[in-house]
Amino acid sequence: MRKFEDVSKEEIRDLLGKGWLTHDGMWFYTVSSEMGVDTANKLNKAAIKAMAPFEVNRLKKVTGLRENQLTGIEVLKEFLPAGMQMILPVSVFSKLHFSVMPGNTIHWEWDKGECFAYKGMSRIGVIDKYECGVMYRVVCWLELLGLKFTSTPPTTLCRMHTQGHCSGDFIFEF
């Protein structure tokens, strides 16, 4: 049997990330089974919004991000992927891509069919009505960072399900 100090950082990250994803999915499944998917969506977004201040403050602390650094796209192109990389398992994060585009834009995109929420909500049979909590979480982060931005498309129903792919842009005003 291995000891804690013998387990790699990536293995610990995967263990914690997969545990969180499993809890999140089972919470959504239980609430949607008991109260309906519309209530589950509403409560999920409320929980994400309530959790976001804690998460953003912790991510700022661990990444060393200071408020006065948020003056341009360069810092965000580092912070967003770093934040997602720290909270998601390796096998999930590797399927989410961020890139900087002209016009103070950060483009995000999931590999086709590979979003963990899309897969989970499909498995539990609520994908037709599932409202994306994954990118809503990032939107909450950006709002808490005090940034002026537009999210296109808006975070609503699962784009992987409705459009066959999931991607979008955050367009910032600096």
Asked if residue 122 lies in contact with residue 147, where contact means CB atoms within 8 angstroms, the answer is no
Claim: this prediction has a pTM higher than 0.85: yes
| Residues 20-74 pLDDT 10s | 999 999 999 999 999 999 999 999 999 999 999 999 999 999 999 997 888 889 8
Q: How far apart are CA 35 and CA 163, in angstroms?
A: 27
| Residues 109-132 pLDDT 10s | 999 999 999 999 999 999 999 999
Domain boundary assignment for the chain: 8-173
Would you call 73 exposed, middle or buried from its count of C-beta atoms within 10 A (0-12, 13-18, 19+)?
Answer: middle
Give the model's pLDDT for residue 31: 98
Pair of tokens at residue 88:
């998601």
Examine the pLDDT at 154 and tell me if it is beyond 90.
no
Would you call 38 exposed, middle or buried from its count of C-beta atoms within 10 A (0-12, 13-18, 19+)?
Answer: exposed
What percent of the chain shows pLDDT beyond 90? 91
- Domain over 8-173 is classified CATH 3.30.1380: yes
